[in-house]
Structure 1
Amino acid sequence: MTSAGDLMLAAQGLLLDFDGPVCSVFAGWAACDVAAHLRDRIAKQGVDVRPVDVESDPLAILVWIGERHPDLVESVETWLCLAEESAVRTAEPANYSDALIRSSFRSGRPVAIVSNNSAGAIRLYLESRDLLRYVAVISGREFARPDLMKPHPNSLCVAADGLNLSPHDCLLVGDSVTDVVAAKSVSARSVGYANRVEKVQKLADAGADAVVTTLEPLALAVAGD
């Protein structure tokens, strides 16, 4: 397996997933509580939410609504965008994420965020960390189109196009199997960021070109380039 640092140096552009590699979005407002908030709102529309009664991922609830109750997807999308924008105000940065973004930019490798989270929430977070100037493209969730979320490669293709690069010339850093699957589908190299120990094998099995438990080797590779 190629080292993460070598993959970073070989890339012409950096694609960063948001929740995980950049920050923990729901550190201050737990994802399970956001999911419960969405269920309450959906239930008030007369929908039986028992099929997602134990679902702790708000994005999974959005996908479920898109599949089962498409007439409500715009409303749920709007509620989720507002919840994410609130949540990022107490998000916790991932170690070395700020340094990686700045160092990649300064090394001549443009940075894009490719995320299933909303672009508005991503922008708010980047502004709060004084990082927006270092990010060329924010490719967040397409409004009311949960079917285009990763593992669909839409956000990667939009980001690479915005960087004037092909996905093949970019490196994706993501913390989930869906990130790796999306990267492989468009021939982008990927580094799996295992921010929890149980993710190491899952990301390797999914086909990540390298797996790291810290972003330090990526940040150091471009800092000295």
Structure 2
Amino acid sequence: MMSPVRAVLFDLDGTLVDSAPDLAGAGNEMRAARGLEPLPYERFRPLVGTGARGMVGVALGVQPEHADFIALRDEFLARYEARMTFGTGVFPAVEGILEALEGRGLPWGIVTNKAQRFTTPLVKALGLDRRAATVVSGDTTPHSKPHPAPLLEAARQLNLLPETCLYVGDDLRDVQAGRSAGMRTVAVSWGYLGTGEPIDAWGADHIINVPDELLKLPGMT
């Protein structure tokens, strides 16, 4: 018998909340400021997990090694910060999972690579700050995912052993971080997923296609 899960930790963007509309919107704002036509939303969505680097790359074709990248990254972040709650919300089906976890008395938390500058106001705007048992941002610890430090910090804050936690994410780095931290890992196919290896090559303990499947995993029942 697998030991019971004592807490569920979620990645934020693409797992818990759909932030792609605002991230893509900031990218298209940069294009508009330069007299360029907007790009289809579908061009931005797969790369949301790569943050400003990916969004600037899609919007303007500028990569980190370019001399102008830092200035463009900072412009993107400022534009995103100004609009990050316009179209972002908790995935509707995920909201039901949060309610179910709360109904069971099972704590849940957030571990994201998003900087606290963005995480704190976004989580508050969505009303998640009053519900999450822990929120660990990309700069809470000296390392971000795929390093295990953020996940280990979340377990420490919850006063739980890492192996009793389940980590749920939509990126290879989530699975790598979870495995390195000794947690059980779940990859979700409704997320942004990136453009690298397919989800079934990430090595997650479980892959789920709809949020309800989370409640049926070993250790959750």
Do both proteins adopt the same fold according to a TM-score greater than 0.5, normalized to the shorter chain? yes
Q: What is residue 111 of structure 2 aligned with on the other side?
A: 114
Q: What is residue 58 of structure 1 aligned with on the other side?
A: 51
Q: Give the SS at the match of 1:217.
A: helix
Q: What is residue 151 of structure 1 aligned with on the other side?
A: 146
Which letter does structure 2 place at the counterpart of 1:126?
V
Q: Which runs of 5+ in 1 are unaligned?
A: 1-5, 41-54
Say which of 155, 174, 187 aligns to 2:169: 174
Q: Which runs of 5+ in 2 are unaligned?
A: 35-46, 57-62
Q: What is residue 13 of structure 2 aligned with on the other side?
A: 19
Q: Quote how far apart the aligned CAs of 1:87 are.
A: 1.8
Whole-angstrom CA distance in 2 between matches of 1:81 and 1:13: 34
Q: Quote how far apart the aligned CAs of 1:117 are.
A: 0.9
Q: What is residue 98 of structure 1 aligned with on the other side?
A: 95
Which letter does structure 2 place at the counterpart of 1:171?
L
Say which of 129, 133, 149 aligns to 1:132: 129
Q: Quote how far apart the aligned CAs of 1:218 are.
A: 2.0
Whole-angstrom CA distance in 2 between matches of 1:85 and 1:166: 38
Q: Give the SS at the match of 1:142.
A: coil
Alpha carbons 2:168, 2:186 under 8 Å: kept? yes
Two-structure CA RMSD over aligned residues (Å): 3.9
Which letter does structure 1 place at the counterpart of 2:22?
G
TM-score by length of 2: 0.69
Q: What is residue 186 of structure 1 aligned with on the other side?
A: 181
Q: Give the SS at the match of 1:112.
A: strand
Matches within 5 A, 1:203-214: 203-214=199-210
Which deviates more from structure 2 when the two are superposed, residues 185-194 or residues 131-140?
A: 131-140
Relative to structure 1, the CA distance from residue 198 to residue 141 in structure 2 (aligned partners, 3 Å threshold; closer, same or farther) is: closer
Alpha carbons 2:170, 2:191 under 8 Å: kept? no
Q: What is residue 40 of structure 2 aligned with on the other side?
A: none
Relative to structure 1, the CA distance from residue 109 to residue 154 in structure 2 (aligned partners, 3 Å threshold; closer, same or farther) is: same
1:64-122: CA deviation from partner (whole Å, max 9, x where unpaired): 87x999xx79xx67973773463234214223222222322332221110001123433
Q: Residue 10 in 1 paired to residue 4 in 2?
A: yes
Q: Residue 28 in 1 paired to residue 22 in 2?
A: yes
How many correspondences in the alignment?
193
Whole-angstrom CA distance in 1 between matches of 2:75 and 2:135: 18
Q: Give the SS at the match of 2:139.
A: coil
Alpha carbons 1:14, 1:112 under 8 Å: kept? yes
Alpha carbons 1:95, 1:215 under 8 Å: kept? no
